[in-house]
Amino acid sequence: MTIDDSIETRFLLGSVMQIAVLTHATAFKDRDVEQFFRLVEDGAGFAETALAPLNRSGDENGVSFKNRSAKLPKGFKSAWKNIQKGNWQNICRGMGPDGQPIPESVAIGIQEIFFAANPAIYYTLASTIQVGKLIQQYGDEKLTSIFREKLFSCEWSGALGLYEYGDTHHLEHPRTAAVQKKGYYSITGLKERVIAGDHDLNENLIYLITTGLETGKKGENKIGLMAVPRFRLEDGQMVDNGVRVESAYATTGLKGVPCCKISFGSDKECRGFLLENLSTDPEAVFSVLEDWYAQFTLHSVAQTRNACFDLKAYSCQSQPNDSTPSRDLELSLTPVLIHLKSVYEGLQGAIHMSAFYLDCIQHGAEGQREYFSDLLTLYRSIFKSYGSVSSIEALAKGLRQGGGIAFDPESIIEQSFRDLHTGMLIGPDENRVAELFLDQILPSKKGRLFSQLLKQFETIDAHLVMSESLIETIAIWRDYIGGLIVLFGDIMEGQKQADIRISTLYAKQILKLFGDVIVCYHLIIQAIEAERILAEEGANFYNLRQEVARDPAFEKWYNKILTAEFFVVHILSLQESTIRLIQKRPQATLELI
């Protein structure tokens, strides 16, 4: 971690999020903020030495697949052992390597660093711990005692099997079947796109899969989450459980981790174990996967960060036959660099703040939990689609503007673009997410979630802002809050009239607008905090540009203001047409089609 990275971490966690308040919670009473900062810096050091050096080679060499068995690139097994040795897998559980609890807002900072260093290894780690956490939370005592510690220690690995062939609606009706037997379920079916579905890191792998459940009631749709081991324990012996790896997909990105097709019970009985403490209603099953979906948003943050740094380095490179860096190239790339930076910093702020909301829910006062729970629900429902889509758009712009960078074998932005595209394939379907957000999440509880969001926005006090550009930025941003209010009214009115117009035509656009407004909010609160730091350092706000020219130390904080201004003018303002188009109510056009 560089000095600049350390300053940014302290700024976001310490100044903007003010995680010091969490040290008053019973769980963290023996900790202080400096310990949290040191932990993030230690995590960055581990990522730099053990994970990052394998990212490029892993992408170039990829996974080998022979005799229905996948082998990870050279060095991955050693890195996995180093993760176990340092207990870094605990970070995915909200714990430090010493096993002591840490705030989720600190843990997610380290997870982002791991993701940026090597997404292939991190996806394998994250899926393992996610399977362990879900078994611990919803499995019975016997199931938990068998699998939990094996997964949490990374002695065994875990993988989530959620997709089937041709599925675009996230398996409300899985074809994989589970027939109840005495003490287990007999599983038959095929799962596609199982990330980290096979590898040579350890001796056993536990799949957590969605299956249909026979209920005997006609028309009743029940599904369950099943823990299915590749090898099951019988009398202390590892026994083949009828799980077969049919193939490993070759994708354009994430080549260091296998994405597999897995069959269950194709040639011998396959036994699975139901997570019995979880409802078998499809909506309940998928709601518990929110932590897993959040990983795809975190991937977007990490890859946008990588692309931003890569393009910045590229802009300063000497051109052929040039003895000095090309000023023309640097100037031409400045707009796309600011675009990448604004998406990265705003999205990072939103995702890290959602982790802070989770801390407040778990450790804060009872009276605040409803407010933070509503915000967390809203944030997660928006950003699990918004993060990937917005990051892909920004990275594509960086590749276009960067010209030859896409053909540079050492280009990080090109690898990030491919990895993020593959991440979208294994993540939730963006159309489905947008429709669910518009039809169920946003209008739920009589619009309480939306009211809580507006209440959050009211915390911005423009009277405390000192720079003219930030005052104007806030004014424009507030105009778009007005647009959200108009659209929310249309959504609620459409529900009363059974009007499918908005959810059919504009779900993705409206979700994008909500995401842009929230990202802009986080850029603004970071800019306001940067102004406070500038004021403490004696900056003259009547001529801030000259102040920055006089003292380069001011530039970092001044750039926070410019980034918020750029996002409002160049990103958020593009949403003007969306609001106006929806207000035209083109129901007749839909009916004509």
pLDDT tens readout for residues 520-550: 999 999 999 999 999 998 888 888 888 888 8
Q: Using the structure block, give the residue that is written with the tokens 């005592």.
A: 141
What's the pLDDT at 589? 42
Per-residue pLDDT band for 588 (boundaries 50, 70, 90) equals very low
As a whole number of angstroms, the distance between CA 234 and CA 236 comes to: 5
* pLDDT confidence tier of residue 368, bands split at 50, 70 and 90: confident
Question: CA 322: distance to chain centroid?
Answer: 41
pLDDT of residue 322: 54
pTM of the predicted model over 0.75: yes
CA distances for 561 relative to 221, 306, 503, 541, angstroms:
51, 22, 35, 12
Percent of the chain, pLDDT > 90?
58
**Contact in structure between 350 and 522 (CB atoms under 8 Å):** yes
The two three-digit tokens of residue 389, written as one number:
């889509």
Q: Token digits for 373? A: 């729970």
Please state, in angstroms and rounded to a whole number, the distance separating the CA atoms of residues 11 and 202.
39
pLDDT greater at residue 440 or residue 515: 515
Q: Residue 444, Cα to own-chain centre: how many angstroms?
A: 23
Closest residue by Cα to residue 390 from 528, 245, 293, 508 = 508
Cα 186 to Cα 371: distance, rounded to the nearest angstrom: 43
Residue among 151, 157, 154 nearest 136 (CA): 151
Q: Is 413 within 8 Å of 398 (Cβ atoms)?
A: yes
Task: Give long-range contacts, CB 8 A cutoff, 24+ apart: 440-446.
Answer: 441/377, 441/378, 441/381, 442/378, 442/488, 442/491, 443/491, 443/492, 443/495, 445/374
Tell me the C-alpha distance between 531 and 462, whole Å.
Answer: 12
State the first-to-last Cα distance of the chain, in angstroms, to the nearest integer: 55
Region 499-511 average pLDDT: 73
Helix (H) or strand (E) holding 243: strand 243-249
Instruction: Identify the three-state secondary structure at position 197.
Output: coil
Tokens of residue 259, six digits: 């994405």
Q: Over the stretch 549-565, which tens digit does the pLDDT of each residue have?
A: 888 888 899 999 999 99
Helices vs. strands in the chain: H and E counts, helices first? 21, 12
Q: What integer best gives the mean pLDDT of the chain?
A: 88
Beta bridge mates, 237: 234
Residue 338 is which amino acid? I
Of the pLDDT bands very low, low, confident and very high (cuts 50, 70, 90), residue 590 is very low
Phi-psi region of 561 (alpha: psi -120 to 50; beta: other; left: phi over 0): alpha
Nearest to 11 by CA among 376, 553, 532, 463: 532
DSSP letters along 117-176, please? H-HHHHHHHHHHHHHHHHHHHHS-HHHHHHHHHHHHTTSSEEEEE-B-TT--S--SS---
pLDDT of residue 593: 38
* Residue 190, both tokens: 């095929």
Query: Is a pLDDT exceeding 60 seen at residue 465?
Result: yes
CA distance 78 to 96: 21
DSSP-derived letter for residue 101 is B
What pLDDT was estimated at residue 167? 63
| Region of poorest pLDDT, from 344-353, 394-403, 472-481 | 394-403
For residues 593 and 581, what is the distance between their CA atoms, to the nearest angstrom?
17
Angle at which helix 327-363 crosses helix 290-315, to 10 degrees, equals 160
Q: How big is the chain, counted in residues?
A: 593
Most confident of 106-115, 160-169, 543-552, 574-583: 106-115
Q: How confident is the model at residue 471 (pLDDT cuts 50, 70, 90)?
A: very high
Structure tokens at 201: 């890191």
Dihedral over Cα of 250, 208, 168, 422: its sign: negative
Exposed/middle/buried for residue 247 (C-beta within 10 Å: 0-12, 13-18, 19+): middle
SS3 per residue for 509-576: HHHHHHHHHHHHHHHHHHHHHHHHHHHHCCCCHHHHHHHHHHCHHHHHHHHHHHHHHHHHHHHHHHHH
Structure token pair of residue 369: 């939990």
Residue owning tokens 């809203």: 378
What is the three-class DSSP state of 245?
strand
Q: What tokens were used for 469?
A: 């550009």
**Is the model's pLDDT at 501 over the cut of 80?**
no
CB atoms near residue 49 (< 10 Å)? 12
pLDDT, position 591 = 46
Three-state secondary-structure class, residue 249: strand
DSSP for 346-370, please give it.
Answer: HHHHHHHHHHHHHHHHHHS-GGGHH
